[in-house]
Amino acid sequence: MKLAKGSTPWVSVPMLLTAFLAAAGNWYMSAVAMAGLVFMIFFHRDPDRIPLGDGMLSPADGKVILAAPDRVTVFMGPSNVHVNRAPLDSLVRNIEYQKGTHMPAFMNRAASNQQSRMQLETDDGSMELRQITGALVRKIVCYVQPGDRVLRGERIGMIRFGSRVEVSIPEGYSLRVIKGDKVKAGETVIAVRSS
């Protein structure tokens, strides 16, 4: 199983703790540490994805909690893959970090949470992708930097432990998802060029 970039410290600690506790003969606590290890491996998994058609891809795994003509918001629950992907071929123009509140990611008020705002330039115009943290660990990891060119479906970052991703829809695109749909990053088409 492939793990997300930067996951080694998150996986190593429970792995070493499991081994140490087992060697010390503390089987109960070793089992607890092993459960933590399994969770960390599951949470940091990073499967390969193949787009299911042409158009703009979902930047995140999860449930669509907002589907408006100009933007889509995806809530990532604990069981979703938390690696984010580029919706379209783009040039990363700017990445801006914004401090904010720490509301649970599924709430509307989470739009004011700590976040990373990524300005992307596509062949169809500019677009903004916001990685928004949740109430817990609140760690945003960007794999890209301004000036980078990214391909549609390419890994661009990760948000740890409860979060959401919001992406603006370029002009000339029409939605292919509705509120409540389940989507997969780099695989599910969320909008197509309408002209």
Query: Which candidate in 90, 116, 163, 168 is catalytic?
Result: 163
90 is catalytic: no
CB of 88 closer than 8 Å to CB of 127:
yes
Q: Which of 112, 120, 7, 101 is nearest to 59 (CA)?
A: 120
Give the whole-angstrom CA distance, residue 118 versus residue 113. Answer: 15
Instruction: Give the tokens for residue 98.
Output: 């914004």
Residues 6 or more apart whose CB falls under 8 angstroms from that of 126 comprise 93, 119, 120, 170
Indicate which residues carry an active-site annotation: 163
